[in-house]
Chains A and B, each alone.
Chain A
C-alpha cells in the first residue's frame, strides 16, 4: 500500500506542475543554502582532537596585571620567563612549550634556490600529546630535549620535496644555516582548527613543514615567526633583553588525565603566581586559567563570525521555505477535497488519508532533496567565492553530507505536511459529495 501511495505521490507531482515546481524549488534552495553554510560551519567548529580534547590543557598566567591585561583575562600566551618556569617545574605528566618559526631550507646538490619552510619549535612530548602520526621514524626523546639535539621531524610534503618521498630518517637538512638530523617523517597531520596554536594563527593555516626541539631553537636565539604581544614601554635590542621583557609569544600545553590532576595543576599555577607576587614580579593577586581544548577554542572564538551568521541566515531561509511549503501543500491537498470525499465515502479511514498525504509530501521532500543535493554540490564547489580560501577548502560534500541533505529535506517536508495532511484527513465526505 505504501508503495502505491508513493506511486500516487509521484503522479500527483505531475498533476500540478507549477505548484510542484514551486515546492520542490523552495525545499531544494532552502536545504541547499543550509547545507552549504553548514558544511563550512561543521568544518570550522569541529573538535580537532576528539579523543583527547578533555585531557589537553593550556595554562595561562597573567603577567600584565589588571591595568594592562585583556579585560581581566590573562594574555593568550606566556612570556619567556613564565614558560621556562612551567617547563622546569614539570608538574604535568606530559607538557610542551611551542612557538612558530620560519626557516629556509638551504639548497643542496639538486636545488639551487632556498626553499621557504614554516614549522614549530616544540618539546619532545608534543608528538605523543597531540597524536602526530608518523610515516617513518618518530619524535625525539626527552634526553634529546635536554641535550639540545639538532633533530627535526619533517612533514610528508617537505619529505616529498627534499627526498622524493623516500625514508629520510637519518639524513641531514640545512635549515637557516644549521644542520639538522631527520628523526621522523610525519604522515599528513593538520588538525583544524589548529587548537594548539591559536595565538599566532586563526586556526586554518596550511600544514607545518617541520618540528624542531624547543630548547635548540632558544639556544639559536630563534625569534618567533608568529605573533608577539607586549605591554608598556619597550626598549629591548637583543635576545636577552627580549626574553626578559613582558612580551608573550610562547604557547604552553599540558596533558592531565584525571580531575585530581587538573585540580592539582590549577593549584600549582595559582601557587606559582602567588610566588611571583611575593617576589615582587607581579603586583597583583594570582590570575590564572587552565582551559581544555574545547574551552580554549571557544575562548579564542575560532569559528569566524561570518560562518555563524551565514548559518543562522540560511536556517532562517530554510524555515521560510518550509512555511511556504506548508501553505502550498495546504492548497494542493485541499484542492483535492472532492477526491478525498469520494475516498472517505468508499471506506478509507482518516488514517489512510493521512498516510497517503504524508507520503505524497515525502515525495516532494525527496524531489526537493535531490535538487538540494545538486545545488549543494554546486555550492560547495563554488564556496571559494563566499569564504576565504583556507576555510572554503574545508567544506566538502562527503557521504554524510549527502545523507544529511536528503534526510533533512524529506523529514522537514513531512513535518511541514502534518498540518495540511491533517486538514485533508478531516475533509467532510458528505459535504464534498453534496457540493460536487
Chain B
C-alpha cells in the first residue's frame, strides 16, 4: 500500500485553519500532559517514601504542659508518664521525643567535622529521645548499638546540650564518612563538643517533606536527650500488633490519671501514622489528583475535538470521496487516506509539542526549583498523542470509507 502523501498535503492546504487548529491542540496537549505526568510521578514517589517507622502500630501524643515548672519537676513527670504508658497492656514501648518522622517540619542542625569549620558539610534532622526510641519507632539498627540508659541526659527549655554519643542514619553516616566506617567517628552538630557515632539506623525519614529537605533526604541524628521542655513534649507509643486502637484509647487516660495539668488536644492530640502521613503529604496527593484529572479530561477533549473536525471534513468531502471511489479507490485506501492525514497533522503537532513541553518544564525548573523532566515522559506523551489521534480519526475515517461511489454522480 503506497501512502498518498503528496495529494494529502495538497488537500491540507485547502483546510489550513482546521489543520493548524488540530496541530496546535495536539502540541499544547502534549506539553501539558508530559508535564502533568512528570508532576504526578514525582508526587507519587514522595508519597511512597519510607519513614523507617512501624507505621501500622505507632502513634504520637502531643502533650502540652499547662503551667511552667522547673526542669527537674518536668523530668520527673515525663519519667512517670513514660512508665505509665509502658505498663499499659496494649502498649509495647513508649519514648519521649522533641519531634518525629513526617511531623511536617522541625529541628535540624548544620553538621561539621571540626568545630571551627565555617562551611557546614550538610544538614541533619535532629531527634532527641532515650534508649526506647528505636524500639518504639520500630526502626532498624543496622550497625553499632543502642543508647544505654545512663547515657540519656536531661535537656530543659531551649537549652543547647550536646551529648557525647549519637546514633545517625545510614544516609548521614555515608555523607559524613563516605568510606563506610562511620562507627566510632565523631562530628559536630552546632555544639562546642563532638558527638561520637555509636549506632546506625536505616532508614529513618526526616521530620520535613518540603522541597528544601530533598537535598538532605534521610539524613538524621538521634541524641540521647530527654527533652523536658517546660512547654510540652511528644510521646511516641508503639502498640502491640493489632492493638493500636486500644492503645490509642488507653494512653491519654493513663496520662490524665498521672496529672491533669496537661493539654492533649481532643482533635489532633493523638495521631496514628496513617493520619500523620495523610497530613504531611496533603499537597503532594492533591497535586497528583489534580494533574490526573486534568490529564484525563484533556485527552478526552482533544480526542473529541479531533473526532469533531475529522467528521466535518469527511462530510465536506463526500463528493470527492465518491469520485475517488468511482475512479477505483478501495475502502481501505480512503481509510488510509484519513489516517495518514491525521498522522501528518499529529506529527507536526507533536514536534511543536515537544518544544513546548520542554519549555514549560524549564519554566517550572527556574521558577519553582522542580527537577528537570526526563525525556522518557516526552516519549510516552508523543506515543499517547499519536495513538490518540489515530484512534480518534478511526471512526470518522471508517464512515468516509463507506461513502458509496454513487455520491459522485449527485448534484455536482
A residues near B (Cβ < 8 Å) are 18-19, 22, 25-26, 29, 33, 37, 67-68, 102, 104, 106, 112-116, 176-177, 223, 225, 228, 230-239, 242, 304-306, 308-310, 312-314, 316-317, 319-321, 323-324, 326-328, 330-331, 334-335, 385-389, 419, 423, 435-436
Contacts and interface: CB of A to CB of B under 8 A. Distances in A.
Given A317-B298, A335-B315, 10 more contacts: A114-B66, A233-B188, A235-B191, A308-B368, A310-B287, A317-B294, A327-B309, A328-B309, A386-B287, A386-B289
A350 B83 CA distance: 89
Contact of A29 (B31, B115, B301, B370): B301
Given A26-B305, A104-B64, A435-B411, A327 B158 contact: no
A113 B294 contact: no
B283 interface: yes
Nearest to B308: A328
A309 B283 CA distance: 12
Interface in B273-299: 282-283, 286-287, 289-291, 294, 297-298
A325 B325 CA distance: 32
A121 B39 CA distance: 41
B158 A104 contact: no
Given A22-B304, A223-B157, A317-B32, A102 B231 contact: yes
Given A177-B68, A233-B190, A324 B158 contact: no
Contacts of A116: 64, 263, 265
B260 interface: yes
Contacts of B22: 327
A308 B367 CA distance: 10
Contacts of A389: 282
Given A116-B265, A389-B282, A233 B115 contact: yes
Interface string B344-377: 0000000000000000100010011110000000
Interface string B33-50: 001100100000000000
Interface of B: 17-18, 21-22, 24-25, 28-29, 31-32, 35-36, 39, 64-68, 110, 115, 118-119, 156-161, 188, 190-192, 211, 231-232, 260-263, 265, 282-283, 286-287, 289-291, 294, 297-298, 301-302, 304-305, 308-309, 311-312, 315-316, 360, 364, 367-370, 411-412
Contacts, number: 175
B158 to A, nearest CB: 5
24 contacts: A22-B301, A22-B305, A25-B301, A37-B290, A114-B67, A116-B64, A116-B265, A176-B66, A232-B190, A233-B188, A233-B191, A234-B160, A236-B158, A239-B158, A242-B158, A309-B364, A313-B294, A317-B32, A324-B304, A326-B21, A327-B22, A328-B308, A331-B312, A335-B312
B159 A330 contact: no
A131 B227 CA distance: 39
Contacts of B282: 387-389
A327 B18 contact: yes
B66 A324 contact: no
Contact of A233 (B17, B64, B119, B192): B192
Going nearest first, the 9 A-B pairs with the smallest beta carbon separation are A331-B312, A114-B66, A234-B160, A386-B286, A177-B67, A324-B305, A104-B66, A327-B21, A388-B282
A335 B66 CA distance: 77
A242 B21 CA distance: 66
B231 A331 contact: no
Given A104-B66, A114-B261, A304-B283, A313 B36 contact: yes
Given A22-B305, A113-B260, A306-B287, A230 B32 contact: no
Contacts of A104: 64-67, 263
Nearest to A22: B304
Nearest to A321: B301
B67 A106 contact: yes
Contacts of B287: 306, 309-310, 386
Contacts of A330: 17-18, 21, 309, 312
A423 B36 contact: no
A26 B28 CA distance: 15
Nearest to B291: A313
Contacts of B211: 305
B65 to A, nearest CB: 7
Nearest to B312: A331
A225 B229 CA distance: 11
Contact of B298 (A239, A320, A419, A436): A320
Given A104-B263, A324-B305, A223 B158 contact: yes
A435 B111 CA distance: 83
Contact of B25 (A106, A324, A436): A324
A385 B263 contact: no
A309 B308 CA distance: 30
A314 B32 CA distance: 9
Nearest to B110: A231
Nearest to B159: A237
A278 B348 CA distance: 67
Contacts of A102: 64, 231-232
A83 to B, nearest CB: 16
Contacts of B17: 330, 419, 423
Nearest to A241: B160
B118 A236 contact: no
Given A313-B291, A313-B294, A324 B301 contact: yes
A335 B313 CA distance: 10
Contacts of A305: 211, 368-370
A266 B339 CA distance: 69
Contacts of B286: 306, 385-388
A114 B211 CA distance: 37
A229 to B, nearest CB: 10
Nearest to A105: B66
A228 B229 CA distance: 15
A234 B197 CA distance: 20
A171 B326 CA distance: 99
A308 B368 CA distance: 9
A26 B191 contact: no
Contacts of A33: 294, 297
Contacts of A67: 118-119
B353 to A, nearest CB: 11
A19 B308 contact: yes
Given A29-B301, A223-B231, A328-B309, A314 B364 contact: no
A228 B32 CA distance: 40
